[in-house]
């Protein structure tokens, strides 16, 4: 499906869950990022429609489904980019910050209502896929290595994971010394 078509998402998810005989785990991976040096609104809007609109619609549908069912697991691939601003692709980092914060909100809802819903926020650094753009990239992980770590984190129902693991160090430095970035 195209997650930008938010008016169709709920029905598609409903149909899909019936076709596959139920749903225990939803993984949101769809995401885009564009370089946008001239701050063209159409480019920013495209990113927002996928990474915010599509993400929110699928996340909400999944949460409501799992709440009704009594259990479930929602995982999202956000990014370490969500911890930082980005001068040449501001909408990408901002939408990833939104996803991270949205999951924090969902976590509070789960705790307050004592729901049996696990939430896994996956924060990759750089992985060797087509989304990677720009200069100054480092520690680029091969896809299979990243996929194995993501799979392990989901199996363990981890709350949050950095992929590859060394990016946890960068996240710590960002938190302790944001002025460095």
Ligand X SMILES: NC(=O)c1ccc[n+]([C@@H]2O[C@H](COP(=O)([O-])OP(=O)(O)OC[C@H]3O[C@@H](n4cnc5c(N)ncnc54)[C@H](OP(=O)(O)O)[C@@H]3O)[C@@H](O)[C@H]2O)c1
Q: Give the binding site for ligand X (CB under 6 A).
A: 2-4, 29-33, 50, 54, 77, 79, 124, 126-127, 129-132
CB of 157 to ligand X, least distance (A): 19
Nearer to ligand X, 52 or 115 (CB): 52
- What's the closest the beta carbon of residue 77 comes to ligand X, in angstroms? 4
**Whole-number minimum distance, CB 96 to ligand X, in Å?**
7
Rank residues 15 and 116 by Cβ distance to ligand X and give the closer one.
15
Return the number of the residue (107 or 128) whose C-beta is nearest ligand X: 128
Smallest separation, CB 39 to ligand X (Å): 20
Tell the burial category of 23 from Cβ atoms under 10 Å away from its Cβ (0-12, 13-18, 19+).
middle
Rounded (to 5) percent helix, strand, coil in the chain: 55, 15, 35
**Residue nearest ligand X by beta-carbon distance:** 31
- Least Å distance, CB 114 to ligand X, is 30
> Which string of DSSP letters, residue by residue, matches 10-62?
HHHHHHHHHHTT--SEEEE--------TT--HHHHHHHHIIIIIIHHHHHHHH
Q: Which among 149, 180, 145, 137 is positioned nearest to 33, based on CA atoms?
A: 137
Nearer to ligand X, 7 or 114 (CB): 7
**Closer of 70 and 136 to ligand X (Cβ):** 136
Cα 124 to its chain centre, rounded Å, is 9
CB 73 within 8 A of CB 25: yes
């Amino acid at each position: 499906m195209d997650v930008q078509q938010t008016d169709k998402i709920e029905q598609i998810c409903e149909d899909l869950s019936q076709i596959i005989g139920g749903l225990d785990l939803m993984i949101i991976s769809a995401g885009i990022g564009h370089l946008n040096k001239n701050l063209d609104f159409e480019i920013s809007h495209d990113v927002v429609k996928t990474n915010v609109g599509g993400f929110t619609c699928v996340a909400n549908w999944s949460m409501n489904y799992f709440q009704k069912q009594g259990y479930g697991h929602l995982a999202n691939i956000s990014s370490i980019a969500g911890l930082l601003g980005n001068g040449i692709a501001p909408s990408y980092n901002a939408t990833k910050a939104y996803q991270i914060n949205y999951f924090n909100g969902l976590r509070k809802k789960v705790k307050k209502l004592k729901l049996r819903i696990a939430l896994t926020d996956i924060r990759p650094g750089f992985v060797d896929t087509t989304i990677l753009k720009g200069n100054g990239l480092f520690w680029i992980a091969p896809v299979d290595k990243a996929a194995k770590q993501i799979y392990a984190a989901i199996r363990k129902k981890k709350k949050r994971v950095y992929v590859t693991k060394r990016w946890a160090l960068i996240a710590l430095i960002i938190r302790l010394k944001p002025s460095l970035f």
